[in-house]
Structure 1
Amino acid sequence: MHDRDSVEPFQPTLDSLAGFEVPDWFRDAKLGIWSHWGPQSVPRFGDWYARHLYREGSDQYLYHRRTYGHPSRFGYKDLVALWKAERFDPEALMDRYVAAGAKYFVSQAVHHDNFLNYDSALHSWNSARIGPERDIVAAWRAAAVARGLRFGLSEHLGASFSWLATSKGADERGPYKGVPYDGADPAHVELYLPNEDHHTRDVLPKPWYTTNPWWHRRWLELTNEMIDKFQPDLLYSDGPLPFDSDDHAAGAQVVANLYNTSARTHGGRNAAVYTQKTRDADLVRIGVLDVERSQEPEIRPDPWQTDTCVGGWFYDVRARYKSPEHVLEILVDVVAKNGNLLLNIPQLPDGTIDDECSYLLDAMARWTAICGEGIFGTRPFRVYGEGPGRVVIDHFREDRVEWTSQDFRFTQRGNVVYAFLMRWPAEGSALIRSLTRSDTVRSVRLLGRGQVDWRHTDEGLSVRLPQTSPAEELNCLAIELT
């Protein structure tokens, strides 16, 4: 056990960090909004642009060459200067996110592109000096804190050393055959990194995390700068805990700094959360499991998080967006299994959101006003749900489920069980079989409408519903037990 009265209760070891306890704010929050935004939004051509523009023949390479010029002449260093964020209004956006139900907000501090979205004293390739000439993270933080939201950061820096090595290549054919891309110029090594030995033409970088000790130290100092500067309530790493097995134990040092920084401002008790993407038993216990673009099949004993996006991670004119119904179905299914949803709303390069995202947020706001009682501050019921509908558990697959009127998802607060109707029954009544005779029902409300008639039989709880539903998307019953 840790001395919770200490201002530094954690040491940079996995055994010490295993004393992490999930703070109540994260258990209660259920929904976070993420700004996965930066210079890679400028082309409006999707995720991983800074890597793939250097992969000859890829869609992004072809788009880049035909739009901006060959990457030996116009590379990523030139693209970042085009990011101006000239219409970025974090206060107005944060108001929309709060109305949609967000209880925490996560700002991307740095993607794999090694470009920082804040004013860094350690790295000159940052948004305060180049492009927007503004500390984007500081602006987001001020807007979130002013509205009572918890504030988080995402760092994708651990993989950058390998990820950016495509900039060291050259075309194998055509008029620029053999001409090095601009990343080979030593004058730009601070951005593109000394990673020549990691160059491949593969879609994915190999390895994800380099063994290069210089990069481990660099990642450590930059990530600690983020923590010290912004004191986040949440820190997200895009991958497993970086560099946890080397002599420097850089990952453990960062997490200890995160938790101890929080403890110094919370009476000696940590209130911050670290999320990472491995199920390794020793690493899961130091923070919260993050499941990218997927879900869990059952209730997890400890809170977890899924992160997903409306369309693509960076703005992409080709993307097909999730409907409001799909997003809300994901939220309900995740919360029923003891999880949180971190939802990225893609931003245009000027900082605004498009009308499709505005439509989604408006729909979420209307739904939250009706059904939010069954989401925020709840805990899992003894079962997450009933009925034949199941989400597909397959990495990066988010197929929409063909729900039926027999499908329910459950949450609970005190003696109230919330039953979400994943499809409104055409027959005008709902039968909930998971509520047996041992559950003594006192009353049933349809959120947004009020008390409804019900009968408790050996089959389960039968509820008579009105002809029309209060919410356009899925609806919720509040069942009070004695």
Structure 2
Amino acid sequence: MNRRNALKLGASALAGLYLSPLLGQSQLFSSPLNNGVFEPTWDSLSKYIVPDWFRDAKFGIWAHWGPQCEPEAGDWYAREMYQEGSKKYKIHIEKYGHPSKFGFKDVINIWKADNWNPEELVNLYKDVGAKYFMAMANHHDNLDLYDSKYQPNWNSTKMGPKKDIIAGWEKAARKAGLRFAVSVHAAHAWSWFETAQRADTKGNYAGIPYDGKVTKADGVGTWWEGLDPQELYAQNHILSENSLNDGQIHKQWDWGNGVAKPSNEYIEKFHNRTIDLIDKYNPDLVYFDDTALPLWPVSDAGLRIAAHLYNKSLKKNKNVQTVVTGKILDEQQRKAMVWDIEKGQSNNIEPLPWQTDTCIGHWHYDRSVYDNKKYKSAKTVIHTLIDVVSKNGNLMLNIPVRGDGSIDELERAIVVEIGLWMKANSDSIYGTRPWKIFGEGPQQESVGALTAQGFNEGKGKPYTSEDIRFVQKARMLYATVMDWPENGIAVIKSLGAEKNFYSGKIKQIKLVSTGQKLDFKQNAQALEVYFPKQKPQNSYANALEIT
């Protein structure tokens, strides 16, 4: 019996017990907390329908923020600081000392978030057009950023800032009238932190283990005396196959290819932590940084979490109003949840709503991106949003947050510029649905295929005025010209009278940003729209409302 079929036996065959093939053995787990319409099987979850609020929102902003932002050295700091000779290893030694003496647990201790003002940031994001806000609840570093019942010591109310980060974000989002989302990444700490079990192979510290296997007994006389670092690192286990190969983690992301299988205790602790998060903060969306659902296919923990969230929402509402996202989904899984594409876009109109997540810099704050002025431009973000929306997707944009809880002035300027475009053109974004085709033009002919979680953004040619993206809403068709036509004429080939895409008579065309009516001429092969001589602000994307 394969794993999926075993899990499908679920409630029907086992009358409240759920079969999960863990470590190659069939084991029984207790019934889920929330019995209801949805059972923890893919078949049952496939009854899910994406709520309209998500489909209408189109644009969200994310604070991918936690203790790994404290060094301001970029992504995966807590893993790569234990990779001898790596950039982050060298930064760590320079800033803090050797990882055998000052490990990631000690980075958590010095993280204070003393300039964090969630209300100010969330209000900014609302003002620039975000309809939902997402906060990171934990990362692969395994620190819960909330008052965590099942991670009672290693959470942000007891460590570092000694603040309930998720509560602060949630309060600000609710007050601003935004939907509130959380991202959950901690399922992977088991294998992700394996680098902390290593030791240097050369130099003065050769053979001296890093702090990945220290225990409560080792803490006498330290700031963490009485605490067990294994509750954070979870490294009391054998290494995965080929663990010394730093790239192996990517091949083992779906809990295969020789990964050390997580223990039942680890799995159930993650499950309980996530249920606790859901029940305390009532998120409208839960983002999982996993292939499908957390710990799938070695456990049904993720299935149980999703079923609990859907049933919880169903008890409160007539329809399920919550969203779960996951990556690398098969056809059935895309019916059970929302497909998330990391740093990439679909190349077609997707039949079901989806989301891309990307950032203007690195996921975790990186001072070098700021110093070298390497942030994505507002123009790039807007072009991504328009393209994604034309293909039935949403954009979740991360604005990296400094360790102290603030964003820098370069980021703020980009966010404000995004807001200027959104204020002028939002009618062509919110509440829209895909049209018969997503668009036309040379850019799409040059894009790259999706690989793994996504990762095809930026691989196509820059957009020009020949690139058009379409959406519809009510009786309106919106065609966005992805640059200002230098000769003043936008040529939209798909709207030629003989192209059979648009059968109605075109009565009026307006430039959405200004409301100005534009002259036009439709012939057999194309629609020509005559732009005004005066460019509006941020004319790198020009939405036309066609009546």
TM-score, with structure 1 as normaliser: 0.95
Matched, 1:13 2:41: yes
Deviations 1:113-145 (A, max 9, x none): 000111112111111111111101111111111
The aligned runs of 1:5-404 (5 Å cut-off) are 8-123=36-151, 124-187=153-216, 188-198=229-239, 200-204=243-247, 205=249, 207-208=252-253, 209=255, 211-212=261-262, 213-240=264-291, 241-246=293-298, 249-267=300-318, 269-319=319-369, 320-390=374-444, 391-395=447-451, 396-399=455-458, 401-404=461-464
Unaligned runs of 5+ in 1: 1-5
Q: Distance in 2 between matches of 1:282 and 1:429?
A: 45
Matched residue, 2:532:
466
Matched, 1:431 2:431: no
8 Å contact kept, 1:294–1:393:
no
Q: CA deviation at 1:477?
A: 0.6
Letter aligned with residue 238 of structure 2: D
Matched residue, 1:3:
none
Identity score, percent:
42
TM-score, with structure 2 as normaliser: 0.84
Q: CA deviation at 1:425?
A: 0.4
8 Å contact kept, 1:310–1:321:
yes
Deviations 1:235-255 (A, max 9, x none): 111112123334x51111000
Q: CA deviation at 1:218?
A: 1.7
Letter aligned with residue 433 of structure 2: R
Q: Which moved more, 1:430-439 or 1:9-18?
A: 430-439
Letter aligned with residue 393 of structure 1: A
Q: Which moved more, 1:385-394 or 1:355-364?
A: 385-394
The aligned runs of 1:436-455 (5 Å cut-off) are 436-437=496-497, 438-449=503-514, 450-455=516-521
8 Å contact kept, 2:40–2:306:
yes
Letter aligned with residue 14 of structure 1: W
Q: Distance in 1 between matches of 2:522 and 2:364?
A: 50
Unaligned runs of 5+ in 2: 1-33, 217-228, 498-502
8 Å contact kept, 2:346–2:450:
no
SS in 2 for 1:154: strand
Q: Distance in 1 between matches of 2:282 and 2:63?
A: 18
Matched residue, 2:27:
none
Q: Distance in 1 between matches of 2:87 and 2:450?
A: 25
8 Å contact kept, 1:288–1:303:
yes
Letter aligned with residue 461 of structure 1: L
8 Å contact kept, 2:334–2:352:
no
Q: Distance in 2 between matches of 1:291 and 1:245?
A: 20
Q: CA deviation at 1:436?
A: 3.4
Q: Distance in 2 between matches of 1:467 and 1:65?
A: 58
Q: How many residues align?
A: 473
Q: Distance in 2 between matches of 1:211 and 1:171?
A: 26
Letter aligned with residue 388 of structure 2: V
Matched residue, 1:408:
468
The runs of 4+ residues in structure 1 deviating greater than 6 Å are none
Letter aligned with residue 141 of structure 1: E
8 Å contact kept, 2:150–2:269:
no
Q: Distance in 2 between matches of 1:308 and 1:478?
A: 28
SS in 1 for 2:238: helix
8 Å contact kept, 1:371–1:447:
yes
Matched residue, 2:220:
none
8 Å contact kept, 2:193–2:235:
no
Q: Distance in 2 between matches of 1:245 and 1:403?
A: 40
Q: Distance in 2 between matches of 1:448 and 1:156?
A: 39
Q: Distance in 2 between matches of 1:173 and 1:196?
A: 25
Q: Distance in 2 between matches of 1:180 and 1:55?
A: 12
Q: Distance in 2 between matches of 1:171 and 1:85?
A: 31
Q: CA deviation at 1:7?
A: 8.5
Deviations 1:127-182 (A, max 9, x none): 11111111011111111111211111110011110001111111111100110111
